[in-house]
Amino acid sequence: MSQPESALADAQAGGRAPESLAALAERYGLRRAIARPSMPAYLRQLWDRRHFILTYATSRSVSKYSESALGQLWQVLTPLLNAAVYFLMFGIILGQSKNIEHYPAFLITGVMVFTFTQRTVTGGAKSISSNLSLIRALHFPRAALPLAYTIQELQQLAWSMGVLILFVLATVQKITWLWLLIPVPLLMQLVFNIGMSLFMARIGAFVRDMNQLLPFILRAWLYASGVFYSITERTADQPEILRWVLEFNPAAAYIEFMRDLLIYERFPERWAWVTCLFWAVFALVGGFWYFWRSEERYGRG
């Protein structure tokens, strides 16, 4: 076998005494290539890549609709059509509107808010597993991918919110000072979504069947989140604990918060603030930590 000899010859080429390659590496300050950076270093790297994250998100949005004739118009058409279908189904055909004031607005608000989380979770779960070639070719903090997917959904949300606000204006016909607070629940939900997409990114990267299973989980979550019905009303004759559990669901909390501001002219109650904030912080910290723990394993067979 010739390679150990030749390596030794290499090491001796500069006229040095024979030494192990590890010692040689040590002497010249060379380091092993594989290592997970510490959390602060990781955050710094991620911040350095902010331009990549933004450009990647925008590029994905642009390329997503580039094949269709209407192009970027679909960013508005998708939420509009979504709202129309749900309104037709649950507002007119199944008819739930009698007990809930402003039911169409109630419904569409729920759909739009839930869709934001739903799409971010779906995107996050795919963000690592469908970008393996990118991960195997370039060095960057892998959290950039789920973050980019979340930002892409945020851009989509801006259009959805526009549609939603027009819809509420048309049906409820009232604007209040509370509307100024609309960015607040959105920001908390965004933070929650970032955490969720990081969490799901790691799951999706290693649990290969997750992408098949996820639609069912998300649909169950949708039905549990009071999008089509009012949790308070439905749990009126049920034990208190059930209502409490349902209302602690983060999706339900963000939806209720938005409905209070947008439709019912109510300043959200204290529990709503606490729940929304708790989930945002908990998901972000937990999701980030969970994702970072596997940083060096993404993209490895």
Partner 1 sequence: MAEVTEGGPTGGGTPTVIVDDLHIVYKVYGAGGDAEKGNAANALMRVLRRQGRPQMKEVHAVKGVTFVAHHGDAIGIIGRNGSGKSTLLRAIAGLLPPHKGAVYTNGQPSLLGVNAALMKELTGERNIVLGCYAMGMTPTEVREKYDEIVDFSGIGEFVQFPMSTYSSGMGARLRFAISSAKTHDVLLIDEALATGDREFKRRSQQRIKQMREAAGTVFLVAHNLDVIEETCNRVIWLHKGKIRMQGDPQEVLDAYNKA
For residues 278-297, which are near partner 1 according to CB under 8 A? 296
Question: Which of 18, 22, 41, 244 lies at the binding interface for partner 1 (CB under 8 A)?
Answer: 22
- Asked if 5 interacts with partner 1 (CB under 8 A), we say yes
Nearer to partner 1, 126 or 259 (CB): 126
Nearer to partner 1, 204 or 250 (CB): 204
Secondary structure string (H, E, C) spanning 232-271: HHHCCCCCHHHHHHHHHCHHHHHHHHHHHHHCCCCCCCHH
Piece in contact with partner 1 (CB under 8 A), picked from 8-16, 169-177, 249-257, 286-294: 8-16
- Asked if 30 interacts with partner 1 (CB under 8 A), we say yes
Q: What angle do CA 240, 191, 226 make, to 5 degrees?
A: 35
CB of 16 to partner 1, least distance (A): 11
Contact in structure between 167 and 263 (CB atoms under 8 Å): no
- Asked if 212 interacts with partner 1 (CB under 8 A), we say no
For residues 61-120, which are near partner 1 according to CB under 8 A? 62-63, 66-67
What spatial distance separates the first Cα and last Cα of the chain, rounded to whole Å? 30
Distance, CA of 127 to CA of 116 (rounded, Å): 16
Contact in structure between 113 and 266 (CB atoms under 8 Å): no
Residue 138, Ramachandran bin (φ over 0: left; ψ between -120 and 50: alpha; else beta): beta
3-state SS assignment for residue 174: coil
Residues touching partner 1, count (CB under 8 A): 48
Contact in structure between 204 and 198 (CB atoms under 8 Å): no
- Asked if 137 interacts with partner 1 (CB under 8 A), we say yes
Instruction: List interacting residues with partner 1 (CB under 8 A).
Output: 1-7, 9-11, 13-14, 21-22, 24-25, 28-34, 48-49, 51-52, 55-56, 59-60, 62-63, 66-67, 131, 133-140, 296, 299-301
